Amino acid sequence: MSGQEVRQVGIAPGTRDFRRANAAMVLAAFATFASLYSVQPLLPILAADFGLDAGASSLSLSVTTATLAVALLLASWVADRAGRKTLMVWAMLATALLGLALPFVPNWTSLLVIRTLMGLTLSGLPAVAMVYLAEEMSPDALGFSMGLYIGGTAAGGMAGRLLSGIVADLAGWRTSLAVLGAIILAVAVVFAALLPAPKNSARNRLSFRGFVANVAVQFTDKGLPWLFLSSFLLMGAFVTLYNYAGFRLAQPPFGLSHTAISAIFVVYLLGSVSSAWAGALSTRLGRRHVYWWMVAIMAAGVALTLAPSTPLIIAGLAIASIGFFAAHGIASAWVARRALVGRAQASAIYLFMYYVGSSLLGTLGGYAWVAWGWNGVMLVTGGAMVVALAVAVRLIFVQPIPLPEKPPAPPAGV
């Protein structure tokens, strides 16, 4: 009997395990991204409290995403050895404990140290989540479940930003981060109880040499490198857009409060809906035919934020969010589909580029803001979107892989 025949079909739609797995992964995505982006609406507050400019204050987010990017590749290797669920549970618990320590930092350096450590612990979930879904879900459930997980990241990013901004206005940024840390700890416990144990992903004592080989082989595929580049560009543009929208809207002629600025992140909910919808649509029509439209929608939203009107800026952010999360959900499933060997490493590379883009373009956007205002931010974000759209069009012509969604697993150590 072949390796393909002995593999289980996976979790089917409508089953108890399907509901439990999706609920657990949405909660995990929610908690992880709420923790990651909770400081984004606090950047103007942190800048004032610690005497920093916009570029320096953005380091509280950039150091986390930069560390997360580097740690993702290592986390994918650890997950092969320790087990998918084990790594995700411990990563969430450690993140919650570090989050609870943040309110007690005595200075800016201490805050950056903890946020850097959080980059390490946060890597445990995104490095494994997409691989868990790709291995455990049946082919007809993967697109929806991946989209739902991406939707959870959107909801978490929105809730973390909204909660931290509102509570910071009422009781200070330290209290807001303490409340968020307690919520993440509770979610981690529920996640551990809900998530079904993996059945299709045996632990693999992959040697470091085999790990490097698995990383290298991803760049021999005709589509994966383009998807990796797209990840860098889209996430970098998206984070830059939101990092400095708060600075712009706090200034005249807008003059919005921190609570009002944080409330704008409610448009993230549109991203939650669009990612699940786009995942199902791409399964029906084909990823290459849907993906570039989602990138184009995001680009249109970015362009709309140039308008000197609060309603139009918010509409632009909403449209950009819809396009971004839809494109990200499709690309995530696409990477898992094309990676025939070293799926964990392929997903890790995709996310590595995702967070490198967030760190590099996010920080670059801060210095562009200081130098040229919103036009400088648009120079960074708009430039990234032009290249991202060209890459999305290029992906239309990449030959699809005519193989099953769940190919045989490679031998251990290969």
Cβ atoms of 33 and 156 within 8 Å: the answer is: yes
Structure tokens at 207: 């040697």
* DSSP secondary structure code for residue 223 in this structure: S
Query: Mind listing the pLDDT tens digit for each residue in 145-183?
Result: 877 887 787 778 778 878 887 888 888 889 999 998 999
Structure tokens at 49: 């409290």
H-helix or E-strand containing 51? none
Residue located via tokens 């971004």: 324
C-alpha distances out from residue 113 to 38, 50, 119, Å:
16, 15, 10
pLDDT score at 185: 92
Residue 324 has pLDDT above 80, yes or no: yes
Cα 129 from chain centre: 11
pLDDT score at 411: 31
Residue 356 has pLDDT above 80, yes or no: yes
Q: Closest by alpha carbon to 268, among 120, 155, 346? A: 155
Residue 301 has pLDDT above 90, yes or no: yes
CA distance 394 to 111: 42
Residue 212 has pLDDT above 90, yes or no: no
CA distance 101 to 89: 19
Residue located via tokens 């609406």: 41
CA dihedral 150, 155, 156, 161 (to 10 degrees): 130
Residue located via tokens 């400095």: 244
CA distance 130 to 79: 12
Percent of the chain surpassing pLDDT 70: 91
pTM: 0.74
CA distance 150 to 135: 17
* Mean predicted lDDT score pLDDT of the chain: 83
* DSSP secondary structure code for residue 137 in this structure: B
Structure tokens at 414: 């290969």
Query: Mind listing the pLDDT tens digit for each residue in 97-146?
Result: 999 999 999 999 999 999 999 999 988 888 788 778 877 887 777 777 87
Cβ atoms of 298 and 317 within 8 Å: the answer is: no
Residue 409 has pLDDT above 60, yes or no: no
Q: Closest by alpha carbon to 61, among 111, 124, 127, 126? A: 111
Mean pLDDT, range 244-249, rounded to an integer: 87
pLDDT score at 203: 55
pLDDT-based confidence at residue 205 (cuts at 50, 70, 90): low
Residue type, 326: A
